[in-house]
């Protein structure tokens, strides 16, 4: 029972009283549902500079189904003209996962966070049932939402700015890109990973790449592209500039 006290303590007493009366029920209602699978840990996949090539723990599609616009973009691409990664700009979601650097997954009931060692970028994915914004502000990593399909985490990402490339050799995408990733824990040390590329402006149909992620010991290390980028600083490579805005 809450008793009367001096006016100077009334606010604090009311708050304490409400917590005491509703504490057990409130705690029960706010207890989050644990995710069906634990993906936490530091993970390393194979380096994937070309998402069409096959290799150990990696399958791809050798002949991509380009649209005429996609084929023109692909054939005209020359990284010597100023690839954005040479200017230490964000790699983008696909290229960050493809990188030869590990990443850490941190999760709770409502979110899954990806901490990329490459340039110390992060990407937070809500898994609380929300939908992707209908008109998201374009971003380097896009806007992601996740859901659980049994023990498989499915992440849908849209809202890319269209300035990145899918992989190191430069396979293109547009701002219409829809990226679908799946993560399924197969045992204590491995995750089966797939990524499906769906971009109607660049490809006539969706295509998929698969690989296996392996648990790593230890922690991520600091990575700073700008710190030792002599090629850019001394003018050996061209600085990247964004393409003209679409009218």
Task: Confirm whether 187 is domain-assigned.
Answer: yes
Note whether 9 and 116 are same-domain residues: no
Task: Confirm whether 36 is domain-assigned.
Answer: no
122-126 and 41-44 beta bridge pairing? unpaired
Q: What is the CATH number of the domain that holds 127?
A: 2.40.128.20
pLDDT of 206 reads 96
Query: Rounded to whole angstroms, how far apart are CA atoms 207 and 210?
Result: 10
Note whether 25 and 69 are same-domain residues: no
Note whether 8 and 78 are same-domain residues: no
Note whether 25 and 57 are same-domain residues: no
pTM over 0.85: no
Task: Confirm whether 155 is domain-assigned.
Answer: yes
Give the count of domains, the chain.
Answer: 2
Note whether 73 and 125 are same-domain residues: yes
Task: Confirm whether 145 is domain-assigned.
Answer: yes
pLDDT of 55 reads 55
Phi/psi zone of residue 57: left (φ > 0), alpha (ψ -120 to 50 degrees), beta?
A: left
The pair of three-digit structure tokens given for residue 43, joined into one six-digit string = 């993970």
CA distances from 88 to 36, 48, 80, 150, 154 (A): 37, 19, 15, 38, 29
Phi, psi angles (nearest 5°) of residue 15: -60, -45
**Full residue range of the structural domain in which residue 1 is found:** 1-31
Note whether 48 and 154 are same-domain residues: yes
Q: Which residues pair with 210 in a beta bridge?
A: 59, 194
Residue with tokens 């005491």: 20
Query: Rounded to whole angstroms, how far apart are CA atoms 32 and 228?
Result: 44
pLDDT of 197 reads 97
Mean pLDDT by 10 residues, the chain (247 residues): 45 43 47 84 96 69 91 92 88 96 96 97 95 89 97 97 95 97 97 97 96 96 85 77 73
In the chain the beta strands, taken as DSSP E runs, fall at: 41-44, 58-59, 103-107, 111-116, 122-126, 143-149, 152-158, 178-187, 190-198, 207-215
pLDDT of 22 reads 45
Note whether 27 and 66 are same-domain residues: no
Q: Coil, strand or helix: which one is 156?
A: strand
């Amino acid at each position: 029972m809450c008793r009367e006290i001096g006016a100077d303590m009334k606010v604090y007493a009311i708050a304490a009283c409400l917590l005491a009366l509703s504490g057990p029920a409130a705690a029960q209602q706010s207890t989050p549902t644990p995710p069906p699978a634990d993906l936490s840990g530091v993970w390393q996949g194979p380096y994937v500079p070309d998402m069409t090539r096959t290799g150990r723990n990696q399958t791809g599609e050798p002949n991509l189904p380009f649209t005429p616009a996609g084929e023109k973009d692909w054939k005209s691409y020359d990284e010597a003209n100023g690839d954005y990664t040479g200017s230490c700009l964000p790699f983008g979601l696909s290229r960050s996962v493809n990188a030869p650097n590990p990443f850490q997954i941190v999760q709770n009931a409502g979110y899954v966070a990806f901490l990329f060692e490459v340039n110390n970028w992060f990407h937070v994915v809500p898994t609380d049932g929300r939908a992707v914004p209908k008109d998201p502000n374009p971003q380097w990593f896009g806007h992601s939402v996740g859901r659980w399909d049994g023990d498989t985490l499915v992440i849908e990402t849209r809202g890319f700015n269209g300035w990145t490339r899918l992989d190191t050799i430069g396979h293109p995408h547009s701002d219409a890109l829809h990226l679908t990733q799946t993560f399924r824990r197969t045992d204590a040390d491995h995750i089966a990973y797939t990524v499906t590329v769906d971009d109607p402006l660049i490809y006539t149909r969706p295509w998929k790449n698969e690989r296996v992620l392996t648990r790593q010991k230890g922690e991520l290390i600091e990575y700073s592209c700008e710190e030792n980028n002599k090629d850019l600083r001394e003018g050996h490579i061209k600085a990247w500039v964004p393409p003209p805005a679409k009218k």
